[in-house]
């Protein structure tokens, strides 16, 4: 994996009174913020060690640029399909900003030599930038690596030990950058888009949380008929108290104000035994949402609300209470190894099947696009 230093644009904290408000609005307001003097630039090119400290967990990675050709040639691997409409939206934002304002989150198999190098480097060096957030109680810290020898050492470690990485968050930003790169190479657009702003985190510092579904409407079925239909795929048990699944191939369901445990029957799982990974989200999409509830395309269907794991059972119950005939399905989190297997095989995950942390912030570290003559 080829990583490259870059001249970073970063916020001048003297002008920011509320970090949560400023960075939440940076997605839409970056160009205005930049023109108003809220950002400054580093003196030269650098790599940046990036640490996110939460209340119970910390993540440590590296902010750098990757060559977009690593994506085009399959060394930066994807596990989602992208949508042309979302790429169009991303292109409009990128051209307006003339910058990448949020790193693509890339996961790689942990390499002890890289993690040890990073820890040794920051042990006796000052923090370059530190921002505290109240919303999620997090502290985001950056250390600048600008010495040429240190940069080369990190580059060599990644080239030797990291043959590929996996997009954990940012599929549309990556694909849109590649589209702009190809347009630029063909002379159809003015700009240099061969670099991709990334945050590279080892597998030990990536968490995949559950991503749950609330479905509105039972496709003309009564609750009793719906339960009878799903019983052909699940062994169903009552739950005395609400909870999420505790193991793979178990789901929990909230329907008609009752909570249930759902375990896939052996014959349902057997149909998928030749898959690279047997994913609960895929079985749910195909067997329940499509076959029983009549939802063929789950990605943008208005009958489905996706509820990310950090919102907890309260978020799921609240979502169910907002609609008639609503049913919630809670899924056990996908393992990172499963995601990597799917990406390695050239296949894709079901839509909205992973909620991945850490989460990057818009505007915390920015890479400008250079304009060519």
pLDDT, tens only, 242-275: 999 999 999 999 999 999 999 999 999 999 999 9
With a cut of 60, say whether residue 333 has pLDDT above it: yes
Buried b (16+ CB within 10 A) or exposed e, 209-248: ebbbbbbbbbbebeeeebbebbeebbeeeeeeebebbeee
At residue 373 the predicted structure's pLDDT band, cuts being 50, 70 and 90, is very low
DSSP label of 349:
P
For range 207-228, the mean pLDDT: 96
Give 211-243 as a DSSP string. EEEEEE--TT--HHHHHHHHTTTEEEEE-SS--
C-alpha 189: how far from chain center: 29
Nearest 10 degrees: Cα torsion 21, 25, 26, 28: -170
With a cut of 80, say whether residue 187 has pLDDT above it: no
- From the list 372, 365, 345, the residue with the least C-alpha distance to 102 is 365
- From the list 241, 276, 246, 277, the residue with the least C-alpha distance to 263 is 246
Query: Could you identify the residue written with the tokens 């990605």?
Result: 299
For range 146-175, the mean pLDDT: 97
Q: What is the set of domains in the chain, with CATH numbers?
A: 3-206+358-368 (no CATH), 209-355 (3.30.1760)
> For all residues of the chain together, what is the average pLDDT?
95
Report whether 122 contacts 48 (CB < 8 A).
no
Q: Which residues pair with 63 in a beta bridge?
A: 48, 199
Higher pLDDT, 70 or 372: 70
What integer pLDDT is reported at residue 300 of this predicted model? 81
pLDDT more than 70, % of the chain: 99
Helices within the chain (DSSP H only): 19-35, 68-72, 84-97, 112-122, 148-161, 171-185, 223-230, 266-270, 280-283, 312-321, 336-344
């Amino acid at each position: 994996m080829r990583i490259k230093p870059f001249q970073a644009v970063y916020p001048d904290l003297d002008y920011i009174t509320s970090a949560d408000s400023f960075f939440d609005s940076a997605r839409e307001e970056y160009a205005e913020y930049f023109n108003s003097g809220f950002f400054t630039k580093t003196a030269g090119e650098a790599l940046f060690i990036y640490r996110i400290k939460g209340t119970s967990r910390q993540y440590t990675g590296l902010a750098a640029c990757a060559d977009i050709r690593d994506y085009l040639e399959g060394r930066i691997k994807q596990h989602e399909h992208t949508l042309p409409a979302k790429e169009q939206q991303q292109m409009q934002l990128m051209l307006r900003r003339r910058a990448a304002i949020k790193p693509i989150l890339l996961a790689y198999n942990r390499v002890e030599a890289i993690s040890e190098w990073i820890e040794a480097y920051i042990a006796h060096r000052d923090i370059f930038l530190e921002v505290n957030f109240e919303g999620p109680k997090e502290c985001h810290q950056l250390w600048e690596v600008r010495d040429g020898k240190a940069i080369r050492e990190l580059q060599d470690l990644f080239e030797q030990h990291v043959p590929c990485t996996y997009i954990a968050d940012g599929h549309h930003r990556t694909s849109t950058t590649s589209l702009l790169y190809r347009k630029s190479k063909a002379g159809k657009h003015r700009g240099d888009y061969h670099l991709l702003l990334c945050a590279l985190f080892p597998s030990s510092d990536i968490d995949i949380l559950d991503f749950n579904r609330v479905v509105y409407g039972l496709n003309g079925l009564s609750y009793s008929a719906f339960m009878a239909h799903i019983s052909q795929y699940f062994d169903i048990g009552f739950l005395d108290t609400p909870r999420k699944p505790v193991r793979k191939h178990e789901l929990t369901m909230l329907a008609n104000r009752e909570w249930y445990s759902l375990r896939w029957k052996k014959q349902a799982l057997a149909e998928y035994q030749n898959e690279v990974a047997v994913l609960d989200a895929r079985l749910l999409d195909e067997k329940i949402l499509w076959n029983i509830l009549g939802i063929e395309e789950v990605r943008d269907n208005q009958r489905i609300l996706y509820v990310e794991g950090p919102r907890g059972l309260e978020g799921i119950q609240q979502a169910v209470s907002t609609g008639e005939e609503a049913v919630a399905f809670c899924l056990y989190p996908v393992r990172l190894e499963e995601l990597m297997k799917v990406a390695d095989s050239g296949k894709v995950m079901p839509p909205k099947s992973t909620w991945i942390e850490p989460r990057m912030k818009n505007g915390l570290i920015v890479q400008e696009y250079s304009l060519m003559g």
